[in-house]
Amino acid sequence: MRTRIYNARILTMEKGREIFKGEVQIEDGQISCVKPYGEEENRDDINKGIWDHEINAEGNLIMPGFKDAHTHSPMTFLRSYADDMKLQEWLFDKVFPAEAKLTEDDIYWLTKLAVMEYLTSGITSSFDMYKLKHETARASQEMGFRMVLCGDINDFGGTVQDVENDYLKYNKDRDSLISYRMGFHAEYTTSRELMEQLAEIADKYQTPVCVHCSETKKEVEECRERSGMTPVAYMDSLGLFRHGGVLFHGVHMDEADFDIMKKRGMYVVTNPASNLKLASGIAPVKRYLDMGIPAAIGTDGPASNNCLDMFREMFLVTGLQKVYCDDPEAVPAADVLQMAVTNGAHAMGLTDCDCIAPGKKADLILIDLTQPNMQPLHNIEKNIVYSASKQNVKMTMVNGRVLYQDGTFHIGDTKENIYENANRIAERILGE
């Protein structure tokens, strides 16, 4: 399958490379050539006849897709169900009881709904932490979407044997759309013994461990009471981050926590909309970046956000830092794009999805520059971070396949069918 996207502006996201006019050529899901145009070139007629699929970008922008580096896709059924509550009540009184009723089939349909929304926001892969992950994997694979599954064991479900099995099962085939990283839910839901067992398995495969961490003040305080340490220091003392790790949230941090993360080569994933909505706080993103700790961006699940929209998150990342640091220069647009694309890919272990270059996966999006919010065109990168919204996503391609274009989904199922199932599940579980 040979595809060519021509007459494009291209933002490769390679370090230091500016936007240029040209085309991207794709063969069997991989980028085969990135071709800048000369001044006089006949762009409409390159190797005519050899292409299975030609897309005229009409001057719009091709860039790598966004990476949603922390989410819980099947939580779509809880959207707008339990808003305006504190995190701990929200989680224990509303979310956990509803989640207990989920079946495998539910997970499948609810994931499909989430994937549709990722596609509308130019997200080409997600880092998903949820139970019954084989159903999340099945839905994603059927739709052609790239999903990195994240271990989620805790005292209420899952064993380290599950983690090892999943690690081996989902990382077998390098070309699969599905992969897996080790992880667990959180320090406050997991026994010391289980964490120690997980540290051993991570050691065995020399692989990072991913976990919710330091999301609320309460969580940090309670961990200090139990262990005498911050969650980061405590988990590190158990050996969990010997091969790196990814912290989801990382809002309430000590000086020493940053040092540990830096030393261990860890990533943080910030979830600004969720942290606002649950009144958790504002993560010190500028501090992470200044320390050289790569920060990525996640939407968190649709129960706490409530949407899966990288544009909203990107504006929040920079806007909140500007106020938080009292510095309007904090975290400028180029840094935010790097967080949403490159850092996200690396935090998820997707080393082939971080930029547009030959040999990389064709996980691409086409940004519509002909909407009024993108005009005038004097700084396209800033326009994307400060002005763009889902309305600007003209096309989302994963692994060389167009899954969403001009408002239409190409996902092997109808949207009506997916909505019908999602509503049926929400009604059954939430009793409305």
Q: For the segment 15-74, give every residue that binds a second copy (CB under 8 A).
A: none
Tokens representing 221 are: 């305080």
Tokens representing 414 are: 């109808």
Q: Tell me: does residue 323 bind a second copy (CB under 8 A).
A: yes
Among residues 309, 345, 395, 400, the one that binds a second copy under rule CB under 8 A: 309
Q: Tell me: does residue 423 bind a second copy (CB under 8 A).
A: yes
CA nearest 333: which of 268, 280, 382? 382
Among residues 19, 46, 291, 307, the one that binds a second copy under rule CB under 8 A: 307
Residue ranges in 100-139 that form contacts with a second copy under rule CB under 8 A: 113-114, 116-117, 120
Q: Tell me: does residue 201 bind a second copy (CB under 8 A).
A: no
Least Å distance between CB 103 and a second copy?
16
- Rounded Cα gap, residues 27 and 1, in angstroms: 6
Q: Tell me: does residue 80 bind a second copy (CB under 8 A).
A: yes
Tokens representing 25 are: 């050529």
Span near a second copy by CB under 8 A; candidates 41-49, 168-176, 186-194, 322-330: 322-330
Q: For residue 210, what is the enclosing H or E element?
A: strand 209-213
Per DSSP, 294 falls in state -
Backbone angles phi, psi at 134, to 5 degrees: -65, -30
Least Å distance between CB 316 and a second copy?
8
Among residues 19, 46, 85, 357, the one that binds a second copy under rule CB under 8 A: 85
Residue ranges in 221-260 that form contacts with a second copy under rule CB under 8 A: none
Span near a second copy by CB under 8 A; candidates 122-130, 254-262, 286-294, 365-373: 365-373
Among residues 7, 189, 281, 405, the one that binds a second copy under rule CB under 8 A: 281
Asked whether the beta carbons of 337 and 351 are under 8 A apart, the reply is no
Among residues 33, 387, 405, 410, the one that binds a second copy under rule CB under 8 A: 387
Span near a second copy by CB under 8 A; candidates 124-132, 160-168, 284-292, 311-319: 311-319
Strand order in the sheet with 183-186: 183-186, 209-213, 245-249, 267-270, 295-297
- Rounded Cα gap, residues 215 and 158, in angstroms: 22
Residue 31, C-beta contacts closer than 8 angstroms, at least 6 positions apart = 24, 25, 356, 357, 358, 359, 360, 361, 362
